[in-house]
Structures are given as structure tokens and as C-alpha cells.
Amino acid sequence: MKTRIISACIMLPLLILVYLGGWFIWAAALIVAGLGIREFYKGFEATEVKPSYAIGYVSIVLLYCINIIAPYDQIFIMAWMTITVMASMIYGFKVNERKLEDMTSTLLGIMYVGFFSYHIVLIDRLGSPLIWLVFLTAFGTDIMAYFTGMAFGKHKLCPNLSPKKSIEGAVGGVLGSVLFCGIFAWFAMPDFLGICLIIGVFGSVVAQLGDLSASAFKRRMGIKDYGNLIPGHGGILDRFDSVLFTAPAVYYCYIFVMMINTADILR
């Protein structure tokens, strides 16, 4: 526990990049995506699956470059998805050397680590403090679930995936996320208090699903952690697995609510 707290304190200065936003958050998200997909592919290699690192790296770089070339043109995103799927399928042309899993793991890594992380850039582009909700829901849920589970945890949540997680901890994580998001909205986004509370609930549930999904992969891969970059936490994916799920959830939740509000105003 002491190591986890020390590591968390070391990572706190990284929040400065979130505050600065712009190119700083763009670069940080790109680095997380690059390191994350490497760890993800390494995990597959433990099961004798051989994803294409080259396709993964190139696809992620191209995706993040779209934000420079045409940040508001969704056609480029659709074209990127099409090319990425094609490249992953073409990778399997050498049927005597590669398995079906080699192709699917290549594509999965790009979408899971690369595309999901790109939503951090999309949220930052909205030009509001909304980006903070990603980390408040993800890390707030993790922290509160951990301490609530330690204090009150009796009923196992998913013993086959993560034996230490409890239902009480999961509930505490949701309540903590709502509390953090509510306090943040009260001071930073008072006009969006309701939306922030909704995001606090939805984002917390999704964050925990992201954590469990990462655990499911590690179970199948036969590894304890994705890496050892962060003492007490493992690799980049071990720390940001919930963020990868939360970022798209926050983005689309906000967009969806704003669309409903706009439709109501136009009536």
C-alpha cells in the first residue's frame, strides 16, 4: 500500500499537463497510447500471439496527426478506421506464418488503446474543464473503491477476475466519483452540475468495467501486470485501463446530453 501511495504522489505532477491542455495533453495522450499498445501486444506475445507492432504504432500516429491536419473533419476518422481494419486484415495474408489471433489482436490493440485514448484529445478540444471529469471519475473511483473495499468489503464483485474487488467497494467508487464530480462542477462548471453528476455515475461504472476488462485480458494472458514502469501499479495500462474506458464515456455522454438540450431549446 505504501508503494502505491508513493507512486500515486509521483504521478500527481502529470495533472499539470491536463491543466495546460492543448499540445501538452495531446503529447501526453500519444505517449500513453504508444506505451500502452506496446504493453498490450507484449501481453499477447505471452500467449504466443504475434500482433504487428508496426501497424499499431503507425495507426496511432496517423490518428493523432488527424487532429493536426483536420481536427473537425470526421471523414478522416472514418477513413482512418477503414485503413486500420484493412491493414490488420492484410497482415494475416501470410497464412502459413500467422494466425487469426495475430490479426485480431493487432486491430484490438489499436482500437482499445489508440482510439479510446484519442478521446482525451477530443474532450480537450471542446474547450471546457470537462477533461478533468475523465480523471476525477477514473482515479476517484479507483481510490474510493480501494479504501471502501478495505473498510467494508465482504461480498466479492468478480472473484474470477479480481478477487480483492468487492461490491461494497464498487458502490463506494460510484459514490466517490459522484462526490468528486459534484464538488468540481460546483466550483468550475456550476451551469453543468446535473450533467457532471450524471457523468460521475456513468463514468464510474464504465471505469470499473474498464478495470475488469483489463483484468480479464491479464488472466487469459497469464500475467500479473502489463509492465513494471510504475512501482506498485505495474505498467501504463495497469494505471490507465479505467481512463481508456472513461474518456469515451465522458465524451459521448456530454455530447448526447448537449444534443438533447439543444433539441429541447429548438422546439
**Long-range contacts of the stretch 86-92 (C-beta < 8 A, 24+):** 87/55, 87/59, 88/52, 88/55, 91/52, 91/55
**138-160 confidence digits (pLDDT tens):** 988 988 888 898 888 788 888 88
Reported confidence tier of residue 264, pLDDT bands at 50, 70, 90 = low
The pLDDT value given to residue 266: 55
Statement: residue 46 has pLDDT above 60: yes
The pLDDT value given to residue 233: 65
Residue with more model confidence, 81 or 142: 81
Q: What is the mean pLDDT of residues 235-262?
A: 87
The pLDDT value given to residue 2: 47
> Where exactly are the structural domains of the chain?
19-125, 128-267
The pLDDT value given to residue 12: 61
